């Protein structure tokens, strides 16, 4: 069976979710092509079309009304030819965008033959929005990134990152999407009553040394701001700068290995790959009680908080620190190895593809 996963052919980004999933599905015996261009030019050549983020359809730029109309027509063609569409629901709505992108999300949700949810919260939310839906609703959790990162010990990781060996390290990983997330992280760190605490948030500072698109004086100003922040990190007991826009696969494991607790800085989000990532590294997590994040954290005994309530945030982070000291991070790792391994997640997608294909052939 030939599967088209609508995603950039190179698979290079700061999120290896699709790249690894495609490899896992190939191991199950399917032919898998990752491409957005194929969706527009050759989708009829595939047995199943699998969509991830609708933004990928438009090269992560805002679509015109004409492009959205073309998407509507493409879905019509797929349905006429009996080619099932699978949609993995990463987001409830776009993080950034306009009415046209919101319409692309609506079209994707309504035209999918099967909607894959990364947690049951998403399934319930979707059915509340579409109570008459006859689509196949499937929960397949976010897989862990096995085999991608080299093993590294805590001490080696801290030496590599310049983190004090005896510090209590709070990690907030990934991009910060707006100032609310920056304030949430700073307030949580300040409210944490731990001696020798250290904040590891490599993309909190919005400027990077390399990779700026600015030129001339603006580029100089960006570099100056980065260097100023980098210079005072030791005084603030933190590392909040990153010289590159993306943390490489080589460096990423050092951040999780160096941490004591992982703080999920999102204020309103459906999913976060940092949760299974933290579990795989055997780390405790404190995160918002929202979406699939709150669901999996509560299920596994990791503390949750209300981002709008500072006392709730402080309590959750303190509880995560207590549980980390008691060794409960090992339970997170056991959970990841039992429920979130790539082979079993890929096999679940394989069964879904086969079910849809067999249904269309009847």
Sorted by where each starts, the structural domains of the chain and their CATH numbers stand as: 2-143+341-361 (3.40.50.2000), 154-203+247-339 (3.40.50.2000)
d(CA 20, CA 147): 9
Q: What are all long-range contacts of 243-249, with beta carbons under 8 Å and residues at least 24 apart?
A: 243/208, 243/209, 243/210, 244/208, 244/209, 244/210, 244/211, 245/208, 245/210, 245/211, 246/13, 246/14, 247/14, 247/173, 247/202, 247/203, 249/16, 249/148, 249/149
CB-CB contact of 90 with 7 (8 Å): no
| 168 in Cβ contact with 194 (< 8 Å) | yes
Per-residue pLDDT of the chain in tens (362 residues, 90 and over written 9):
999 999 985 544 567 899 999 999 999 999 999 999 999 999 999 999 999 999 999 999 999 999 999 999 999 999 999 999 999 999 998 877 789 999 999 999 999 999 999 999 999 999 999 999 999 999 999 999 988 888 899 999 999 999 999 999 999 999 898 999 999 999 999 999 999 999 999 999 988 888 666 677 777 888 888 888 989 888 889 999 988 878 888 899 999 999 999 999 998 899 999 999 999 999 999 999 999 999 999 999 999 999 999 999 999 999 999 999 999 999 999 999 999 999 999 999 999 999 999 887 66
The pLDDT of residue 11: 45
């Amino acid at each position: 069976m030939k599967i088209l996963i609508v995603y950039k052919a190179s698979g290079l980004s700061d999120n290896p979710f699709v790249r690894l999933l495609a490899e896992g599905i190939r191991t199950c015996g399917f032919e898998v092509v990752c491409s957005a261009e194929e969706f527009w030019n050759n989708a009829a050549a595939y047995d199943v079309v699998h969509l991830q983020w609708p933004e990928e359809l438009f090269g992560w730029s805002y679509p015109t009304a004409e492009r959205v109309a073309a998407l509507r027509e493409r879905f019509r063609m797929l349905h006429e030819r009996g080619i099932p569409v699978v949609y993995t629901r990463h987001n409830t709505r776009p993080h950034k965008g306009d009415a046209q992108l919101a319409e692309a999300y609506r079209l994707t949700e309504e035209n999918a033959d099967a909607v894959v949810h990364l947690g049951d919260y998403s399934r319930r939310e979707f059915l509340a929005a579409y109570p008459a839906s006859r689509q196949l609703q499937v929960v397949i959790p976010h897989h862990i990134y096995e085999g991608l990162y080299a093993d590294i010990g805590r001490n080696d990781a801290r030496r590599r990152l310049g983190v004090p060996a005896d510090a209590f390290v709070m990690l907030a990983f990934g991009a910060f999407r707006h100032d609310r997330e920056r304030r949430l992280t700073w307030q949580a760190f300040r409210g944490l009553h731990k001696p020798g605490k250290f904040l590891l948030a490599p993309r909190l500072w919005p400027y990077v040394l390399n990779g700026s698109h600015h030129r001339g004086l603006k580029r100089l100003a960006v570099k100056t701001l980065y260097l100023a922040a980098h210079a005072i990190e030791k005084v603030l007991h933190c590392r909040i700068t990153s010289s590159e826009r993306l943390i490489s696969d080589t460096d990423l494991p050092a951040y999780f290995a160096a941490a004591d607790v992982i703080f999920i800085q999102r204020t309103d989000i459906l999913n976060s790959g940092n949760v299974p990532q933290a579990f795989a590294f055997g780390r405790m997590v404190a995160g918002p009680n929202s979406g699939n994040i709150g669901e999996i954290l509560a299920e596994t005994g990791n503390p949750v908080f209300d981002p709008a309530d500072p006392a709730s945030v402080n309590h959750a982070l303190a509880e995560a620190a207590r549980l980390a000291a008691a060794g409960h991070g090992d339970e997170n790792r056991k959970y990841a190895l039992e429920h979130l391994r790539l082979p079993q997640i890929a096999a679940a997608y394989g069964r879904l593809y086969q079910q849809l294909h067999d249904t269309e052939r009847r």
